[in-house]
Structure 1
Amino acid sequence: MKLYKLLSFSFLLATLTSCTFTENIYVSDNGTGKFALDMDGSALMEMAGDQLGSQMGADAKKNIDSTFTFKQLLADKKDSIAKLSPEVQNEIKKLEDLTVNLKMNGEKKEFLMAFSKDFKNVNELQDVLQAMSTLQKLEGGSNASNPFAGGLGKNNSTLSYTYDGNKFTRKAIIDKQKSAEKAKDSAADMSNMIFASSNYILKYHFPKRIKKVSNPSALFSDDRKSITLQYSFTDYMENPDKLNFDVEFEK
């Protein structure tokens, strides 16, 4: 199965049932680190794994364990990408160094997809799910047959991360105009129903002990160097600023 088809179908699965998204960030002393976003859609495999084969074709009869980079995937779409605006091309180019690992096992009722990348500074990071939604432009915009058109990750915000050794910040700024337009879209109500039972979990790991976190719901690891926060995926989609927080470290 071609890489793009494989990834597209995987995102289609994610829009059909409850999933757990886990965003991990590992920060080292010098500010470098690793980002990972894991998506667990095994609930769909549990409910409808036997029916997926007919949708995916002969490839679905085999268990899938595939690892590839977005650079490989986008190489197949270079002609289509060249026709897009410079702004959109830049958004898509940021995905090139993402590594994707996809595991699908019908017998074990397993469906896991993981995106990861190393970074030199947290301010390099972007909202991977939202950036992924730009790929719909490669398949004719919001065509109903396009799995990216469902809006997975399109929460109309700009996400940024900062870290200076003393403080870490995760901040999403909402585009109020786009959010107002989305509120009028009947498709948004359908998205809310689909994602109502999905979760978005943040797990951040730091080289220093944490003094305090602005969000009182944060759970600390035993060594106080990691925190975990859990939200509904509806919060991520409709109120992304609810996922904002600051972390201050002990000196």
Structure 2
Amino acid sequence: MNDLRSPELTSAPVTSSVPASQTPRVLAGRITKRFGNRPVLRAIDLRIEPGERVVLFGSNGAGKTTLLRILATLSRATKGTLLIDGLAVDRNAQTARRRIGVVAHQPYLYDDLTAEENLRFFAKMYDVAEQQARIGEVLDLVGLAGRRGDRVRTFSRGMQQRLALARAIVHRPALLLFDEPDTGLDRSGIGVLERILEEQASASGSVLMTTHDLEFGLRSVDRVLLLDGGRLVLDVPAESIDADEIAERMSSRS
């Protein structure tokens, strides 16, 4: 796998991941992304508050992963502004990264290390206090306490996804950016994921996630976004829309 100490995932020290005031967790203005001459994101405006859980729906190719990568500071926008907890990301990318936990399409784990060793690596990277206790806590949460001494290469896809969730939350990030976090999870694993989302919101943390499971997405969040052709075309409370309507909107735009 790639070296996880690359600039994409490393960061500089910061005193706290919790903002001093009720600053928006995410404030994105006119985010635009082009690959060559091809527009992928078109002037996205987005505000996410502390404690808010948001799902981003969209067909394949709509730009969901590209948007999450920009918000995670793993990719640069062609144009636009981005603030994480009031920090301008173009000037404070490393500090902003410490406030973010990411689950992507690859787990970002070391196959030859054990589950516990992987989490210890990331806990040290983020200067987590009482690391051993926190590692035990997240392993219990994701149901891997009994496999803490086993190498990741022996894990099933679902177990690796559970460990990726543990990696993403070990440093108690203020913002979770989850790209299809339910991939590979069985019903029990989905329950683990739902508990993580609930605990994040109860601690005034924020979530933006993508999923192709409309029912799961709706029941897990407060707010629904729909991305189509690189544009946000829907932004509504989750309680105001159902899966059938979302599916209809997506199919009518495909």
Normalising to structure 1: TM-score of the pair? Answer: 0.32
Normalising to structure 2: TM-score of the pair? Answer: 0.32
Question: Which one has more relative contact order, counting CA pairs under 8 Å at least 6 apart?
Answer: 2
